[in-house]
Chain A
Amino acid sequence: MSELSHIGKSYRRKDGPDKVTGRATYSQDVKLPGTLIGRILRSPHPHARILRIDTSKAAALPGVKAVITVDDTKGIKHGFVETPRYPPDQEVLARERVVYVGEEIAAVAAVDHITAQQALELIEIDYEILPAVFDPVQAMEPQAPQIHPSHPKVRDELPYSNIGGRTTSGWGDVEAGFAESDYVRIDRFESHLRTHGYLEPQTTIAHWENDRLNVWTSSMGTFIKRAKLARTLDLPYSAVRVHKVYVGGTFGGKIDLYSHEYCASRLSMIARRPVRIVASREEIFSAYRHGQPLAMEIKTGVKKDGTIVAQEIRVINNSGGYRGSGVVVIFLAWGFTMIPYRIPNLKFEGLSVYTNYTVRAPQRGHGCPQIRFAIESQLDKIAEDLGIDPVTIRLRNAREPWEELPNGDNVHEAGLIECIKVAAEKSNFLAKYGKGRNASGNIRRGIGMGVSGYFGGSLIYPNGSGVIVKMNDDGTPTVLTGGIDVGQGSETVICQIVAEELSVDIDEVKIISSDTDTTPQDIGAWISGMTYVTGNAARQAAGNARQKMLELAALRFNTDIEDLAIKDKTIFRRSNPAERISYRDIIAYSIATRRGDTILGEGFWRTMRDEPTHPSLATTKGRWTENYAFSCQVAEVEVDIETGEARLIKALTVHDCGFPINPALVKGQIDGQVSMALGHAFLEEVLTKNGYTLNPTWLDYRMPTIHEMAESEDADVITEQYSVGKPYRTKEVGEGLVSGILAAISNAIYDATGVYMTSTPFTPERIVKGARKLARTA
């Protein structure tokens, strides 16, 4: 590896100064003259037929500039997934029926908030209430209310109702595997409903002007938003410009097309004025898309030494009123089962079930925290039943480097085994394990371990990223990228890559990002692929600019490119370093000799370049990515066995994220995920009853405050090297680490108390109930 100047260094964020001074512009900060206020009318019922809508009084109210219902739309449906098997299933505004509380029915644009509110109150709707179903298992019963009676069903013949999607997968011979197992264990786990908790409310300002739609929206990808808006509005993609704004957190909750984005746009097209819609926090809690609780049945067969022989897994997901990402989370649950451990025989079934709840979206980890919690908890129980320790059983099953996964992907330099070893050593795991339950007193300490593997980047629209590096006359580069910084630091990382590849100071790299008109297409800040996909495009674009400058310098010096090298914005001859030319002069030379041509570098990257399509969500057939990150995490908890109160004291994260381009940003991702996982474990729950949200504020939905945060330590297992000019496989670090730590907390509670947690959250009630049951049976 050549010596690195900028990669691997903890540079401060490029956007930091704007953010600490209040200069950073978020969507709520965009001001356009004459902006109208948009509001959305939502269903008060979980399931009802709309018999009549009358918007005439609202439209007649002075100050109201536009009112829309489904009749004012093109009737084009949208969905998180839009494939032949899973066609779009949601209209932008409800047509004839509503299927969840909060479903969007109409929207208004008015001169101020009060007028908009009054207009909503003047819209008259008659409903016929229909029977509703909320539990996915009940929804599968043949006699359950049909949520989409005329909806095309999945092709499989199933004896169930309301199936929105099904994933089946497997390999080997599961029955033979169980027959050869020395020990078989069956458990059922459940996770619960949580929300993303992004600080910035979802906000869109849209302006239809000169037959073009300009949109500023808080999102995870401007190009995916452009595509969804253009399609549902029936506009050419080029008629929609999604502008750059800073984004105040997403965690999966700002990918899909949201009602405020469509409605602000459509209202602006009718009113011919800018329209802003801000989702209130209560709307976000009550009507927007949350994460996905899974019910997971797991049967595992092992040899005496803990080697997994067979696994049968069934996952049921409650997708809410439309598919949302429900059909993806059941596919991903298979993926997150497959990655970390060898499973010679697997049978997997995932079912995504329509109910009369709000639609569900990805949430940091997208199925990984749930399924790893289940598998890792059961694995600890199996280990105990067999008299094996948690470290040994994990090492016995962990993927080795260069293993081929059952789907044909390769894990390359997988560092899982080293992660487990380092985690065990650094936490002094085995010395601490098993002490809690035998301690005296009410306060018991426990230690637990969890393992996770996560993919990075995949073939999802727009499938790849382009980057342009434009060399300025003064020899500095300007990067044009469609990549969006949602807080993870992508702008900084991309600038580091370009600075490294071009040997310039990072402060001299300017970046223009996430604008659909002025930047190349980009995959977006999701599926954990930005550093890998956009980062490699940036590497390639910088390399392309470098190559063009070297070609010119070779002409100028009458030498071969191989004789040339770059350093500090200068090209010099290796054979005679005194012979040199600055970037500034080579660009001037280019302009002088090539009729004004300046230097533009182009780069494009996609995951699995040779694969025509992504894997099937239904069958899992097809390759996925070759970008797998691994981690082993350890949690130390303290539990009061009298009150059942448990808290995370310390988290240790040992991870293989490839090569950490900016270690401080990596550390930031780790701490954030530990915080989110402890919220998942102990605090956060969206409480619902019959389709209604019972706790639609942060007062009642408890996210971790500064008081709850635990000590968070981390260690890198660096398996990949960064070489200038060569593709790299920098791996995921923003999602997977919320998973192992949740499982580790569950196992640490068991270690401290003997209470086997099969449901999240790990509430005092559940712990006390479990402890009392144990005491009774002792």
Chain B
Amino acid sequence: MADRSRELSGKSQVISIEVNGELHEVTVRPRHTLVEVLREKIGLTGTKDGCEQGVCGACTILLEGRPALSCLTLAIECDGKKVRTVEGLANGEKVTAIQQAFLDQGAVQCGFCTPGMLMSATALLEKNPKPSLPEIKKALEGNLCRCTGYNAIVAAVRQASGQGVDPVMQ
């Protein structure tokens, strides 16, 4: 049985990942996913593990600046790469425009989709500072939200991009 365990686990390897500007050297096995390594080994639990099937988008992070599903990304593939997670957005207490817009527009309810939504929205806005409505929808189509009905999230992206949505919250 122990042999099978090794077979399933694979040989350990030390990889180095830059997460939110900080270099981490971690020992991983080939089967380890990036979300496992971020949450269990590096201790950044902001990235959520929603379905482990690559469908809900809660685990979205930025890999080399592009959104990626960390539950479907093997950690070993990220050796030498840069990862950004939700913890890397705010600078201390100063949140980014998209984080502030999520607060202002009521785009947060249970909050479980929020980290993934924020990362997808951040990638969009960094690439396209004034996205159209179809572009916003396209960028966020892989992130499920069961609470808000999405309209508030769209409003938040529009607010962060300076496109004419008045904050609804005080």
Q: Report A's interface with B, CB cutoff 8 A.
A: 9-13, 15-26, 28-29, 31, 61-62, 114-115, 118, 196-201, 246-249, 251, 278, 280-282, 486-489, 664-665, 667-668, 670-676, 697-699, 703-707, 709, 711-712
Contact = CB atoms under 8 A, between A and B. Distances in A.
Interface in B59-108: 85-87, 89-90, 95, 99, 102-104, 106, 108
A12 B109 contact: no
Contacts of B39: 29
Nearest to B31: A114
A28 B146 contact: no
B8 interface: yes
Contacts of A675: 146, 148-150
Contacts of B90: 20-21
B148 A672 contact: yes
B51 A281 contact: yes
A573 B21 CA distance: 58
Contact of B56 (A199, A247, A704, A709): A199
B159 interface: no
Given A28-B48, A118-B5, A665 B144 contact: no
B149 A12 contact: no
Nearest to A197: B146
B28 to A, nearest CB: 14
Given A20-B114, A118-B4, A711-B151, 5 more contacts: A197-B146, A198-B146, A199-B113, A251-B146, A672-B147
Nearest to A284: B51
A114 B144 contact: no
Contacts of B48: 26, 28, 199-200, 248
What 4 A-B pairs have minimum CB-CB distances, sorted nearest first? A22-B46, A248-B112, A487-B110, A19-B111
A697 B55 contact: yes
Contacts of B55: 697-699
Main secondary structure of the interface of B (DSSP, over half): loop
A63 to B, nearest CB: 8
Contacts of A706: 136-137, 140-141, 143, 145, 150, 153-154
A698 B147 contact: no
8 contacts: A22-B115, A198-B112, A198-B146, A281-B51, A489-B109, A667-B106, A698-B56, A706-B143
Given A11-B170, A487-B109, A707-B141, A23 B149 contact: no
Given A9-B170, A248-B112, A706-B141, A668 B152 contact: yes
Interface in B124-160: 136-137, 140-141, 143-154
A15 B114 CA distance: 12
Q: Which of B39, B86, B136, B169 has the most CB of A within 10 A?
A: B169
Contacts of A673: 149
B149 A487 contact: no
Nearest to B100: A20
Nearest to A281: B51
A664 B45 contact: no
B161 interface: no
A280 B8 CA distance: 19
Given A698-B56, A706-B141, A707-B137, A13 B103 contact: yes
Nearest to A280: B52
Given A487-B111, A671-B148, A201 B50 contact: yes
A199 B145 contact: yes
A686 B1 CA distance: 37
Nearest to A203: B49
B86 to A, nearest CB: 4
A617 to B, nearest CB: 29
Contacts of A280: 52
B25 to A, nearest CB: 20
Given A21-B89, A118-B4, A281-B53, A249 B104 contact: no
A442 B78 CA distance: 50
Given A22-B87, A671-B152, A248 B168 contact: no
B12 interface: no
